[in-house]
Structure 1
C-alpha cells in the first residue's frame, strides 16, 4: 500500500538534502573517502578492509558528478532515505504533530549528521539497518515467502556494507528465538547466503585476507582505561551531542511492549554491551557504535510522543546541538571557522603544489594508504603505498597498483628519510622528504611461508621458510634480502634483524614465476626479552623490508 509523506516532512527533508549536497560539493575529501575512491577504481566483490558496498556507491556517484560530489552523491541520497525509513518505523498518526521534533532529534545525532554528506562504509550500513528493521517489522506482522525473500536480500545488503552488520542480524535474532523454527526465516537466511556467494568466493580467492586482518593481524596494546573503556564511554556521549542525557533517559524508560520494540532494545543494548566488553581489549572507534543511532532514533521519538518533559528537553538541546554542528560544518569548508586542523583542510593545496613541481610522474608514498589515494584523486597521477614492516597491509597490498608503476621513473615520498631531492610540508605540519627513482622495481607480493609455531629461539636448530613468487616474471635472488622482525604479545614490532640465509639448493639463482624456493635460517638473538611473535620480511632492491610473512607465534 503506497504511503504519503506529510508536506512539512518533505520540506524539511528537501532542505537537509540540499544542505548535504552543498556540503558534499564544497568540502574536501577526508582520507578514508579517498581510500574508498581508490577502491572504486577497480570494482570487485571485496576489498582488503571492507565489503564492496561503499565502492559501489562511489562508482555510481561518479556517473553523475565529478570531484567530491562524484564520491558523495549516493551517500547524500541514502542519508535522506534513511530518515524516511526511520519515519516509517514509528507507529501512529500522533507523530504528524511533531515533525519538527523528529527532525531535530535525527539531525542532532552527530554522526548521522556527518554521514549525511560523507560517504563511508557506515553510510550504507545505517540505511540498510533501518531498512532491515522495517522489513523485519513487516515480516513478524505477516510472515510469508515474499517477506522472507525480501528480508534475505536486505540482510545480504547489510553484510555487503560492513562486517559489523552481523551484530545487527544477531541481536535481532536473539530477541526472537522462535525464528529458529520459522520456515520463512530460514528462507531469509538461504536467500542472504545465496546473495553473499560472490563475496565468499572473493574471500576464498584472496586467502580470507579481510577476515584475517580484522580478527588476527591488527596490532593492539596493553589495556589502558583512559584510551579504551573511558574512551568508549565518551563515545556514548559524543554520538548524541547535548541531547545525550534525555536520549538515554528515554531509552531506559522504554519497555518491551511487542516483538518489534524488543528487537530494537536487544539491538541497542546488545551493540553497546558488545563494544563495552571489547573496550577491555582494544580501543573502540566512535563509528563502530553508530549503528545504535537507528533503533534509538525510533525508540526515543516514540517516547517523545507521550513524554512532554523529554520531548521539550530533546527539542531544546537538539536545536543547540544542531547550531554547533552547522557552525562546524562551515568550518569543514572554511578552515578559520574550525577550532582545530581537520583532514578536510589543505589536501588540494599540498597536492597541487607537489604536482606543479614534479609534473605527471607516479608518486610512491611510504606507509600511507591515506596520502596515496588523496594525491591520486586531486592530481590524477598514479600512486602506490609501499608498506613496510612498521606499517600494515591494506588494499595496495593486493590490487594492481604496484604493477602500474613498475619500471617507471617515480617520486618516492617518506617521513623517515633525512634528506632527498625535494621536501614539502602539509597543512597538518607533517614534513616529508622525497627522492626520484629512475627505474622503480618492487616485489611486495612475494609471500613468505614459515613454520606456524616455534617453541624455542635458542634451540640451535635450523628453521625453514619458503618464498613464493606470484608474479609472471623471474626474480633474481641477488635483488632480495631477508629480515626477521620480533613483535611483542600485542603484535607491535620491537626489533628488526637482518636474516642470513642458506639457499636450498645452492645452484638456484632466480625465483621462477609461480614457483617456490626453500630457505634455511638460524634465529638471531633479539633485543626484546620474550618476544611473542616473529615475522619474516623481504627487501627488494634495497627498499625497506616489507610485510611478506605472517606473524608466527613464539611459545
Structure 2
C-alpha cells in the first residue's frame, strides 16, 4: 500500500472538497443537522437518539466557522478522507490509469455524495468504515500490537458514530473466525470496549434510554409490502442511481480470492440480507444501508479495472448520475431547480417570521425536535420542544432545555391549537399557529414506574411509583393523570382518564427528588378494541398529556 497519490487524484479530490465546502456554506441546514447542532451545544458521551460523534464533529467545526459551514466543515474533510482511504484499499497496479473512473464511481453514489457535505451520523460511519477496512487489510497481512491497538480505537470510533456500526464489525469478524485465536484481535476487542466504556456508562446513567427506544419503544406501523419490502428494494437502486445494474452485476461476479475480499463480500451481503429480513418487520430507511457503499466501491472498482466493457458503461452512466446530482445540489440552494419543496428551503425565512412575533421571548414548539433547534440556530434565541403522547421522546426529553423556558412568557407554536392568535404558514403548505403563555410551566421529566409484570383490563389495582426529579415540590392539583392505550404497532389510539390514589391520603405535593407511591386500576377503553399496550401519562397545567412511562404490554 503506497501513500503516494497521483497528481490527477489530488486535483479531482481538491475540486470535490472545494465544491463540498461551498455547498456546505450556502445550503440551509436540514432538520436533522439542526437537531445535532442542538446536541453539540452540550457535549456529552451520548444522546437520546445517537452516540456522540456527530456532536463532536459539529463542535470542532464551529470553532473554525460560524453558521452552516461550521456545522458541516468536519464532514467535508471526512468525506475527502473517505475517498483517499477507498483508493488506498485497492491494490490493483493499473488503478493509476483510471483515476477519473474511480472518482466517477464514488462521486456518483447518491448518498455518498450527499454525505460529502451534510453532517449526519452516517458521515463518520462511512469514514471510519473505510478506515476500519484499510487497517483490517494490513492487520490480516501481518498482525501486530500496534495494528491491534489501532483497530480497537477505530472500532470504538465506529460505534461512537452510529449504533449500526455493530453490523460492520460483526460481519467483518464473521468472515474470519480464526481471529478468535489471535491475541492481537483480542487486544483490538479489549481496546474497543475500554474506549467505548464512557458511552456504556452514559447509557447506564440514563437507564439505557437510547437502546430501549430503538429496540422497544419506537412505534411501527403494520407490515405493508409496498412501504417495507418493496421500499427496501427501491432503496437498493436509489443509493447507486443509474449505475445500479452494473454495480450489482460486478458485486455478483466478485469472488473471495483472499481474506480481505471475503470481508468485503461478507459485509456487503450481510448488511443487505440483515435489512432485507428487517423489511418484513419495519420500514428500512435508505441511510441504514448506505454503509455498503464502502465495501462495494472497492469491489466494483476492482472489477471495473479487469473488465473493459463494464468499466466503459459504468463510467458513462456515472457521469449522467453526477450531472443529475449536481443539478439537484444547486437546487438545494436555488429552489426552482429542485423537483420538490425540500427541507433546505425556506426555514431561515420562516424562523425569522416567528422571531418577529416572539421578540426575545422563548418559543416552545409542540412536538417538534426539528423546528425547535432550527429556530435556535437561525435566530440565536431560546427554544424548546414540548413532546406529548402524540409524538415521541427525543433529546429535549432528557437534557436541560426545559429549564430555560420555565416561568417565562413564551410563544407556544403548534399545528393543533384551539386558540389561534397567530398563523405561521410554511412554504411547504402546512400552517402552524401560535399563542402567548405568560407563565409557562411544564414537568415533562416526571416518571411513572411500574413494577408489576402482568396487566389486564380488570378491577385489579396496581402500584405505580411517581418520581419527581425536579428541585422543587410539585402540587398535585397541577397534575392530571390518564392511561394512553396503544395498538399492536405501539401507535397511540386513545386517552382515558385514570385516578391515581396516593398511599398517603393527605398527600398534597410530590416531594423534590423523591418517589411517591400511588395505586390505580386500568380504566376500560371507550373506542379501542383490545389495545395491546398502554402508558401512564401526565398533563400539567392543562398542557397535552406527556410521555411519562415506558410502553407496558397488556395481557
Length-normalised TM-score, structure 2: 0.99
In structure 1, the residue corresponding to 2:496 is in which secondary structure? strand
Match of 1:353 in 2: 353
Deviations 1:459-500 (A, max 9, x none): x22222121001111111110110100111110111111112
Which residue does 2:480 correspond to in 1? 481
Please name the residue that 1:4 is paired with. 4
SS in 2 for 1:207: coil
Give secondary structure in 2 for the equivalent of 1:138.
helix
Contact 1:418–1:433 under 8 Å retained in 2: no
| C-alpha displacement of 1:113 | 0.4
Q: What is residue 449 of structure 1 aligned with on the other side?
A: 449
Partner of 1:191: 191
Q: Decide whether the 8 Å contact of 2:452 with 2:463 is kept in 1.
A: no
Whole-angstrom distance in 1 between the partners of 2:203 and 2:456:
34
Shift of 1:32: 0.2
Q: Distance in 2 between matches of 1:243 and 1:96?
A: 22
Aligned partner of 1:161 in structure 2 is 161
CA distance in 2, matches of 1:370, 1:328: 23
3-state SS of paired residue (2:42)? coil
Q: 2:500, 2:512 → 1: CA distance?
A: 21
- With 9-18 and 442-451 compared, the bigger mean Cα shift is at 442-451
Distance 2:221 2:351 in 1: 34
2:541 maps to: 541
> Which residue number in structure 2 is paired with residue 524 of structure 1?
523
Whole-angstrom distance in 2 between the partners of 1:163 and 1:474: 38
CA shift digits 1:352-400 (9 cap, x unpaired): 1111222111100000000000011001111111000111000000000
What secondary structure does 1:448 align onto?
A: strand
Residues 31-40 or 516-525, more deviating:
516-525
Q: Partner residue of 1:111?
A: 111
Would the aligned equivalents of 2:92 and 2:302 in 1 still touch at CA under 8 Å? no
- Aligned equivalents of 1:277, 1:92: Cα separation in 2: 35
Name the CA distance, whole Å, in 1 between partners of 2:340 and 2:403. Answer: 39
- Equivalent residue, structure 1, for 2:123: 123
Q: Which residue of the partner structure matches residue 77 of structure 1?
A: 77
Q: In 1, Cα distance between the equivalents of 2:53 and 2:228?
A: 29
Distance 1:452 1:135 in 2: 49
Counterpart mapping for 1:486-505 below 5 A: 486-505=485-504
Please tell me whether residue 40 in structure 1 is matched to residue 40 in structure 2: yes
Stretches of structure 2 that go unaligned for 5 or more consecutive residues are none
Matched, 1:146 2:146: yes
Residues 495 and 451 of structure 1, relative CA distance in 2, 3 Å threshold:
farther
- 1:422-460 deviations in Å (ceiling 9; x for gaps): 1111111111111111111110000001244334212x2
Q: How does 1:15-54 map to 2 (within 5 A)?
A: 15-54=15-54
CA distance in 2, matches of 1:334, 1:516: 54
SS of the residue corresponding to residue 196 of structure 1 reads helix
Cα distance in 2, alignment partners of residues 62 and 109 from structure 1: 28
Counterpart of 2:424 in structure 1 is: 424
Aligned CA-pair RMSD: 0.9
SS of the residue 2:227 aligns to: helix
Alpha carbons 2:2, 2:88 under 8 Å: kept: no
Instruction: Give the TM-score taking structure 1 as reference length.
Output: 0.99
| C-alpha contact 1:453 1:554 (8 A) present in aligned 2 | no
Deviation at 1:2, TM superposition (A): 6.7
- Does the 8 Å CA contact 1:451/1:552 hold for their aligned counterparts? no
CA distance in 1, matches of 2:444, 2:295: 44
Q: Which residue of 1 aligns with 2:471?
A: 472
Contact 1:452–1:552 (8 Å) recurs in 2: no
What's the counterpart of residue 211 of structure 1?
A: 211
What secondary structure, in the 3-state scheme, does the structure 2 residue paired with 1:365 have? Answer: strand
| Distance in structure 2 (CA, Å) of the matches to 1:418 and 1:512 | 33
Work out the CA distance in 2 between the residues paired with 1:2 and 1:267.
25
Distance in 2 of aligned mates of 1:124 and 1:380: 27
**Count of paired positions:** 554
Cα distance in 2 between the residues matched to 1:418 and 1:236: 44
